[in-house]
Amino acid sequence: MKLLALDPRGALDPRTGITTSQLDECLRQLEAIRDDIVELDPQQYLSGEIPLEKRPLDARFSWLPSEILGDYRTSPETSELGRIFEVANRLHDQVDAVVVLGIGGSYMGARALMESLCHPYHNELKRGPRGSKPRMYFEGNNVDNDASQGLLERLAHGGYGDDPAESRWALCVISKSGGTMETAVAFRQFLAALRRSLGDQAPQWLSQLVIPVTGESGKLHDLATALGCGEIFSVPEGVGGRFSVLSAVGLLPAAMLGIDCVQLLEGAIAMNEHFAAAAPSQNVVLQYVAVNHLLEKHRGATIRVLSAWSKSLESIGLWYDQLLAESLGKEGIGATPLTTVNTRDLHSRHQQHQQGRGDKVFNNLIVQTPRQDPLPVGHSALDHDGLNDLAEKTLPDIMTAAIRGTNDALHADGRPTTNILLPEIDAHVVGQLLQMLMLATVVEGRLLGINPYGQPGVEQYKQNMNRNLGRGTSR
């Protein structure tokens, strides 16, 4: 399997970007941080002897892919991944839709996996073309009245055929505590709707169609136990929500959609091995951190634009926005992440990006080989649009020209770029990319002297919201 690559040359300019000597010096710093993450973090986490400055140390995400895959290969049926596959395969025959309830890291990773690896119109396909995989929707991530009502109405309409499964749907609720307001309210509402939809069959079906991913104890765990849920999956200890995409939090929805979870984990493991062993000058994680950090330090590039050159990668960008913002946005510092999709957003943002404030770096996310056969422009007898000279060109040809043209325009105005090159979009490459971005976030946190784990600022809004609802803040 090919590994993704990073081309930083668009940022190596002594006039407007960084110098190779600055890059080399930073990479030497990062090598020591890398060794600490690879060698010391696991020892300190497993021993419980964690230095004060590293607490909390939610570092288990880094070796979790090997842990999950190793358990599965040792005990395919009783391992967590084996249980995930059993539930997913059962649901394929029982329901036509699944609603994933969660907020932040409890749903953004799953959505990123769906939108990057499934057919772009998966939910609109009939059951056969979907391979009997369920349609999937995401709620519990807001308190938007009309969005929730709209989804409840959509679920009531059922699927596209007469099979009994077309009229049934399931709930996958993801919350470590079960107490997060948005998800808890949605679960109460959607659970009631699911029970009503099942009618007199509710006693038979309800416990099979509610699949929780939660902590070993807490409100959601207690409710799932009371409902008699056949399977309760765990949000792993030592893994923060925004780092949980390659745990049951992301793998369970992915398996329901038929995504190759083994390849996702294999891709993450390949990135871990590369991160641990590759020389700094060849290490995509360290190179990515160094270039972005130096541009922020020396050129004031405090806004990091992830320019996704494929619509399917937009949700990965939004997942990364949360990862970077909550991990590094502390103590008055931390870059601001922004995801764009091109060429779409060139027609709404590019004027400012090219000639507005020079506070941005553009990290292009480029897919080198599309999944589908290249679609040609085609010949027209009328040639009403004057495109017959491009008749033999394909959409990938136009995309390649647009990427080069945009980079050239940015460079002409002194705007730095990097290219993250994905060989293709498949489960292995997506697993690599997710793990690369999580590792890079931890490395940069250590470089900045910030603990990338924990999110103390988020708690304040929760307390204020409860107070405004007339409730105590201790709930």
Which amino acid is residue 189, in one-letter code?
Q
326 is catalytic: yes
Q: Kindly report the CA angle at 416 between 414 and 420, in degrees rounded to 5?
A: 155
- Centroid of chain to Cα 421: 17
Catalytic residue among 326, 330, 360, 444: 326
Task: Please answer whether residues 276 and 38 qualify as being in contact, where contact means their C-beta atoms are separated by less than 8 angstroms.
Answer: yes
Partner residues linked to 100 by β-bridges: 138, 172
Q: What is the dihedral of CA 275, 278, 279, 285, to 10 degrees?
A: -30
Can you name the residues that pair with 304 across neighbouring β-strands? 337, 361
DSSP structure string for 149-211: HHHHHHHHH--SSSSGGGG-EEEEEE-SSS--HHHHHHHHHHHHHHHHHHGGGHHHHHHHHEE
Active site residue 462: yes
Report the distance separating Cα 118 and Cα 209, nearest Å.
22
The active-site residue out of 53, 153, 347, 384 is 347
Closest CA to 451 of 67, 50, 105: 50
Q: Residue 245: which residues within 8 A CB-CB, separation 6 or more? A: 105, 108, 109, 110, 112, 113, 319, 434
CB-based burial of residue 78 (10 Å sphere; 0-12 exposed, 13-18 middle, 19+ buried)?
exposed
Reported as half-sphere exposure (CB side, CA atoms, 13 A), residue 334 has a value of: 22
Residue 221 annotated as catalytic: no
- Find, among 178, 326, 176, the residue nearest to 248 by Cα: 176
Q: Which of 219, 297, 411, 462 is catalytic?
A: 462
Q: What is the DSSP letter of 60?
A: G
* Residues in CB range of 377: below 8 A, 6 or more apart: 387, 390, 391, 392, 393, 394, 395, 398
Active site residues: 326, 347, 462
